[in-house]
Chain A
Amino acid sequence: MANMQKMIRNKRKITSSTTPLQDICYRFSRNKTAMVGLFTLIIIVLAAIFADAISDYDRLAIAVNASEIFQEPSGKHWFGTDFLGRDVFARVVFGARYSLSFGVGCTLISVTGGCLIGATAAYAGGVIDNIIMRTLDSIMCIPPILLTLSLVSVLGTGLESIMIAISLGSIPGFARIVRSVVLTVVQMEYIEAAKAGGVSTFRTIVFHVLPNAIGTIMVNATMSIAGLIIASAALSFIGMGIQPPAPEWGAMLSESTIYMRTYPYLVIFPGLAIVITALSFNLVGDGLAEALDPRMRD
């Protein structure tokens, strides 16, 4: 971490010109809490990617092992074992795959959808804008968990359908943000200047409006990953998400609630995993927001 800071500082000295990206990285790297979040996140991502090297899916995370049920955390089973003798540590590590792909995947879907809808509304204006935004408003009136549940019961409990069900609920929020950002950027004088230079509407949107709006959109996307991870865990907790025996964190919590009083570690570890992942995404999001804020420039 300190090394990275040093590198960036040196780079600032060598090149007289810093790109906004370098500037943002520099400011981000000086934000300690954000760096902690990023560091934790990197560990979680690495664990998810190399889960097979860390542990064994078939033998430890899935297979029932009657001789080793309810073992306390030890050198052999770091997080103990559950009521079927499965290694909780292995399940938490493999569970990261589900949670991360839910968080990132759902966010990608809702950001893309939100960008398209929001930008269209902002650009079209008038009646079209009104129709789109009022429709989104009415979708936002439905409690998200209810919307997701009804979508899941229609689409089924596969990975993709759960992703779509969760994302649909968060598209309206993104569309609103994107619409307001685009409306602000479009009013800027440099957009008018670009038009005065003979730039076409499409090119104006792609080269002048989007790069200026991307910061706000990215911050909101990062922050929403945490929320969506929790939403997917909640869905599994009530049994409508990823189905057992797959090691999803929410599902693990759900299975273990009945043993909670006698074997608290069964809920502590998956719970901690959810909290820590969500927290680090939020920290990174906060750091990004601060790094992107022009008032923080020095």
Chain B
Amino acid sequence: MNKENPILEIRNLEVIYQSRKRESKAVNKINLVLNRKETLGLVGETGAGKTTTALSILRLLPERTARILGGQILFDNKSILEIGEKEMQAIRGERISMIFQDPMTSLNPVVPIGEQIKEALVLHNSSGRSKKEIDDRTDEILSLVGINPERKSQYPHEFSGGMKQRVVIAMALACSPELLIADEPTTALDVTIQAQVLEMMEDLKQRFQMSMIIITHDLGIVAKTCDKVAVMYAGEIIEFGTFENFFCQDNRHHPYTVGLFGSIPKIDTDEERLHPIDGLMPDPTNLPSGCKFHPRCPKCMEICKTSLPNDTVIDGHMIKCHLFVEVVE
């Protein structure tokens, strides 16, 4: 891994949603680094700020309500929050692509799927492909995702959910992007199709040598696909580490991560009940003081209620929790 040239770097990003006089703090000063050819899993509950982070990278936040208060997003060492809209359009779809949550609604119902895939190719035709070459590329990408190219003149309603997700993936991959953001790519699919789609994405990632951010709340998907994991809670990254940090030897975890793992039902033990994390995600318009997780934390200490913990980094494994501050010192 070449640490010198990360494909994506997020520094102190802060995003709020404004409505009337209320402010929702969606993303609070997060830092992230993603190297080339790596897959990052962004994990967290609904409303933790995962999708907001992803949309900020593409600069697609809803203009009327969302505001980026501060921070930087560096894509290939270029600050993309500062470049013009035209330049951004050239990056979207060609160098950064996104797969949206629901394949049922992310395809235009009145345009044949082949045309939809072709659109990105025609718009980002910097290498001057001829019409024939674009058609060939469309066929190629369709067969890559396992769809018979003869079906390209068909409309979205003629495909099943899993097939639609393949079309969506084909659209995102058409221009061989350097970074692919997948926002819960398998949430809307059933389990068998999930496995197929994940396998295919992994395969395509190898083939295209791209970096990937997978947004999910399914730790199983993270375990299957990711090199690095970031756990988000109430707009903050509370734990960040490698796959090994999370799933192998390391026993040090943020209490929230412990709770997440604890809530997965185990197949080999006889359990009567599930073990959810008590309480609910805090209201983003009125976040608790100190550590955002303290009202729900089983290991809450006095200090947690008043002061926000710093990032504690142990061998590249970052945990934002007072429990581990002494360990380092």
Taking Cβ atoms with an 8 Å cutoff, the residues of A that contact B are 16-20, 125-126, 188-190, 192-200, 203, 207-208, 211-212, 297
In the complex formed, the residue of B with least CB distance to A185 is: B108
In the complex formed, the residue of A with least CB distance to B120 is: A197
Among B64, B93, B158, the residue within 8 A (CB) of A197 is B93
- Residue-wise, chain B 112-145 has the 8 Å CB interface mask toward A (1 for contact) of 1000000110011000000000000000000000
B98 near A207 (CB under 8 angstroms)?
no
Assembly CA distance A197 to B109 (angstroms): 17
A189 near B101 (CB under 8 angstroms)?
yes
Question: Do A193 and B109 contact each other (CB < 8 Å), given the known contacts A17-B158, A198-B90, A198-B91?
Answer: no
B108 near A190 (CB under 8 angstroms)?
yes
Assembly CA distance A297 to B155 (angstroms): 14
Q: Does B171 contact A (CB under 8 A)?
A: yes
Q: Which residues of chain B have C-beta atoms less than 8 A from A17's C-beta?
A: 151, 153-155, 158
In the complex formed, the residue of B with least CB distance to A196 is: B98
8 cross-chain pairs, A with B, having the tightest CB-CB distances, nearest first: A198-B93, A197-B93, A198-B92, A189-B105, A193-B106, A196-B98, A189-B106, A17-B154
Q: Does B60 contact A (CB under 8 A)?
A: yes
| Number of residues from B at the complex interface, CB < 8 A | 35
Question: Do A199 and B119 contact each other (CB < 8 Å), given the known contacts A17-B158, A192-B100?
Answer: yes
A200 near B89 (CB under 8 angstroms)?
yes
A20 near B109 (CB under 8 angstroms)?
yes
Question: Do A199 and B123 contact each other (CB < 8 Å), given the known contacts A193-B168, A194-B108?
Answer: yes
Q: Which residues of chain A have C-beta atoms less than 8 A from B109's C-beta?
A: 20, 190, 212
Q: Does B43 contact A (CB under 8 A)?
A: no
Q: Does B111 contact A (CB under 8 A)?
A: yes
Among A188, A192, A207, the residue within 8 A (CB) of B60 is A192
Question: Do A196 and B58 contact each other (CB < 8 Å), given the known contacts A17-B155, A17-B158, A189-B100?
Answer: yes
Q: Does B110 contact A (CB under 8 A)?
A: yes
Among B64, B91, B153, B171, the residue within 8 A (CB) of A193 is B171
Q: Which residues of chain B have C-beta atoms less than 8 A from A198's C-beta?
A: 89-94, 120, 123-124
Q: Which residues of chain A have C-beta atoms less than 8 A from B311's C-beta?
A: none
Taking Cβ atoms with an 8 Å cutoff, the residues of B that contact A are 58, 60, 64, 89-94, 97-98, 100-102, 105-112, 119-120, 123-124, 151, 153-155, 157-158, 168, 171-172
Which of B60, B91, B110 counts the most chain A CB atoms within 10 A? Answer: B110
Q: How far is the CB of B109 from chain A (nearest CB, A)?
A: 7
Assembly CA distance A250 to B154 (angstroms): 49
A188 near B105 (CB under 8 angstroms)?
yes
A19 near B64 (CB under 8 angstroms)?
no
Instruction: Apart from A193-B100, A193-B107, A194-B108, list 5 A-B contacts with CB within 8 A.
Output: A19-B155, A190-B107, A197-B119, A198-B92, A208-B111
Assembly CA distance A280 to B44 (angstroms): 57
A189 near B102 (CB under 8 angstroms)?
yes
In the complex formed, the residue of A with least CB distance to B153 is: A17
In the complex formed, the residue of A with least CB distance to B64 is: A125
A20 near B110 (CB under 8 angstroms)?
yes
B111 near A207 (CB under 8 angstroms)?
yes
Q: Which residues of chain A have C-beta atoms less than 8 A from B93's C-beta?
A: 196-199
Among A18, A200, A212, the residue within 8 A (CB) of B108 is A212
Q: Which residues of chain A have C-beta atoms less than 8 A from B151's C-beta?
A: 17
Q: Which residues of chain A have C-beta atoms less than 8 A from B105's C-beta?
A: 188-190
A20 near B155 (CB under 8 angstroms)?
yes
Assembly CA distance A203 to B58 (angstroms): 18
Question: Do A196 and B92 contact each other (CB < 8 Å), given the known contacts A20-B109, A126-B64?
Answer: yes
A196 near B60 (CB under 8 angstroms)?
yes
In the complex formed, the residue of B with least CB distance to A190 is: B108
Q: How far is the CB of B82 from chain A (nearest CB, A)?
A: 18
Q: How far is the CB of A257 from chain B (nearest CB, A)?
A: 49
Assembly CA distance A189 to B154 (angstroms): 20
A211 near B119 (CB under 8 angstroms)?
no
Assembly CA distance A20 to B151 (angstroms): 15
Which of A126, A203, A207 counts the most chain B CB atoms within 10 A? Answer: A207
